[in-house]
Amino acid sequence: MPIKIPNDLPAFRTLERERIFIIPDDRAQHQDIRALKIAILNLMPDKITTETQLLRLLSNTPLHVDIDLVQMSSHISKNTSQEHMLAFYKTFPEVKDNRYDGLIITGAPVEQIDYEEVDYWEEFCQVLEWSKTNVYSTIHICWGAQAALYYHYGIPKYLLDRKKFGNFKHHIDVPESLILKGFGDVFHCPHSRHTEVRREDIEKVPALTVVAESNEAGVQLVCDRAERQFFQFGHWEYDRETLAKEYFRDKEKGLDIDLPYNYFPGNDPAQTPIFNWSCSANLLYSNWLNYCVYQRTPYDLNDIEPLREDI
């Protein structure tokens, strides 16, 4: 089954060239099926790139998925045109009465700012509270994961001495996890962040479980006991060139940036980067849609039971 997106969304042509099964709005309106409703709260600066990356992963299942792209009404994007935002994005007030099978909250380049100092923090907290009653399952990514753990469970973040930047190897702590079903003993995933959460703080919260981690990068994936909330600190959605673009961008700005770890062959930035996390990325999002959403969410979204954080 396809993923439904607007015909003129920039990602449409990219995914079509990649032979990814997508369906335009007009054709989807004639199909009599119950599609999964997924919202993406996109907080990343380059929204078009992030849209394409996430839509690519969400399209890799037999399930029909309808997407709502959401932005914060209290923040004006500086890196994506307002024409694009007005054409394809809804504000949170416009979707707050909706119910969704799933929600994805992206990272944001505000890690080094205290949570309460982020200009859209109050509205972001409203989204997190709303997700407990109006969304069946939520994936939080990088800063979105750190901020959600802070809001829901009071878990702090810590500033790193050096940016955690590169392609890191991870291992699974909970082999029976639904979202990691079919994973091997080890997998790779990129990280790009200035802050971290620590395992000892997570383990103080009985409702949470560390599902996967890295000896070099720390905790990678956390879930609640009901497996409805997922907090991932890497960027499975990144494509081959994303870390390279970040590296060269920061070098051009004169910033003190290390080479991405385990990324360029021979640590030579002139070489094509290693891309060895695409299989695990596709499997994770397929598992989430199938095992954590489709097989568990009620047919009538009005029957979603509120999330309990004490389970």
Any idea which residues carry the catalytic annotation? Answer: 142, 235, 237
- DSSP tag of 261: B
User: Please, are residues 150 and 158 in contact by the beta-carbon 8 Å criterion?
Assistant: no
DSSP 196-208: E--HHHHTT-TTE
**Residue 205, burial from CB neighbour count under 10 angstroms (0-12, 13-18, 19+):** middle
User: Please, are residues 293 and 286 in contact by the beta-carbon 8 Å criterion?
Assistant: no
User: Please, are residues 139 and 104 in contact by the beta-carbon 8 Å criterion?
Assistant: yes
Choose among 311, 310, 298: nearest CA to 134: 298
List C-alpha distances in Å: 38 to 110, 293, 295.
25, 10, 15
User: Please, are residues 35 and 101 in contact by the beta-carbon 8 Å criterion?
Assistant: no
Dihedral sign, Cα of residue 11, residue 14, residue 17, residue 19: negative
Instruction: Strands of 57-97 (E only): list them.
Output: 65-71, 89-91
Q: Are strands 100-105 and 89-91 parallel, antiparallel or unpaired?
A: unpaired
Terminal CA-CA length for the chain: 34
Residue type, 238: Y
- Which two tokens mark 285? 């999002």
User: Please, are residues 87 and 68 in contact by the beta-carbon 8 Å criterion?
Assistant: no
Task: Say what angle helices 143-153 and 121-134 make with each other, to 10 degrees.
Answer: 70
